[in-house]
A and B are shown apart, each in its own frame.
Chain A
Amino acid sequence: MIIAERKPLTEVLEMLDGSGEITVLGCRSCTAICLAGGEKEAKEMSEALSLHSELKGKGWSVRPITVERACEKEFILPLQGVKGTVLSLACGVGAQVVQEMFPMLQVLPGVNTSNMGAPEGIGVFVEKCAGCGDCILHLTAGICPIARCAKSLLNGPCGGSQNGKCEVSPDTACAWDQIVRSLTTQGRLDLLERNIPPKDWRPSRSGGPRRTVNVEAMPGDSQKAWRDTE
């Protein structure tokens, strides 16, 4: 899932200065799970903005709309007819899809989107994947050294690994310590002997926005056109 956290309220209030009609957009997918921008958070933000407007005479008219998934065009149709400003509590992807669908709206980010991760405990979310585009989890016992090792080492651990912790912080597990333990549990420690070669970073962030195509899923004509270009 995509992990985001709420922007400080004061920053949001500043961003909204001069607005009139404001729609607070919640998303029931990732940002709801990480408690940053689901239905409850959208309602809360809407109440907070209305209260601020009433206290300070801002003249805002605010309402919340929560969609199933803000990053897919089909799901954001409930925003049809909305005017003015949209404060998005969906992730940066959702905010951009909404902006693309409704170019006349001013879409503002109400959350800071940071990574792809998973809940580790109640209220705690940890990064798991950096979207490198060339996955090597099969060599690292299912633990990603790109996202979870502070140095993204491919052949760790480094000398800073102490008692299972990474040298960057005593709160951070050393990914390579975890990899070695996990390989031991699986009886695959011999994998450590295998040198992981320098990574192919081309599928990563080097060439602008990445486009992933599943030709099979493309409708007839566009599929043919795509195949012809290949």
Chain B
Amino acid sequence: MPAALKAMEVEDMDDVVLREVPCAGSVERWEVLHAFRQGAEGVLLVGCLLENCAHHYGNEIAGRRAETLERTLVDLGLSPGKVVLVHLAEHQPHRFRQAVEAMRATVRSTSEEEK
């Protein structure tokens, strides 16, 4: 969360909605699908650096969920790349920014195909 907030301080990110969770591994698949129904064009799951997980394997769970969700979303009719897990630490707002930019690019390049 601090990395995202810092990134958002220096750059306008009106298109990003932050949702705070206790651990990336606590995000359920239905919640991600619900975010798409609420209008999200892509979902970034932002977890701590691998092996830094306070809950030991929350990060791994999030990784496996992201893979399942990727397949689900494609089956449902969306293009690939709409759910991405990124790992970063508090002092790495640049990584958050990069992930947002990459997601924006994915959304731009695929929004036409989905119509």
Contact = CB atoms under 8 A, between A and B. Distances in A.
A127 interface: no
Given A47-B37, A50-B37, A51-B36, A13 B30 contact: no
Contact of A52 (B29, B71, B77): B77
Contact of A55 (B30, B71, B72, B114): B114
A43 B75 CA distance: 17
Main secondary structure of the interface of A (DSSP, over half): helix
A31 B29 CA distance: 17
Interface string A1-38: 00000001110010000000000000000000000000
Interface in B34-59: 34, 36-37
Contacts, number: 38
B28 A9 contact: no
Nearest to B114: A55
A138 interface: no
Nearest to A44: B30
Contacts of B30: 40, 43-44, 46-47
Given A9-B72, A9-B75, A51-B37, A44 B114 contact: no
Contacts of A54: 37
B65 to A, nearest CB: 10
Main secondary structure of the interface of B (DSSP, over half): helix
B72 A56 contact: no
Interface in B1-45: 28-30, 33-34, 36-37
B76 interface: yes
Given A40-B30, A43-B30, A44-B28, A10 B75 contact: yes
A: contact size bracket: 10 to 19
A178 B114 CA distance: 54
Nearest to B78: A55
Nearest to B77: A55
Contact of A51 (B28, B33, B71, B114): B33
13 contacts: A9-B71, A9-B72, A10-B75, A13-B75, A43-B30, A44-B33, A46-B30, A48-B76, A51-B37, A52-B76, A52-B77, A55-B77, A55-B114
Interface string B63-76: 00000000110011
A146 B24 CA distance: 43
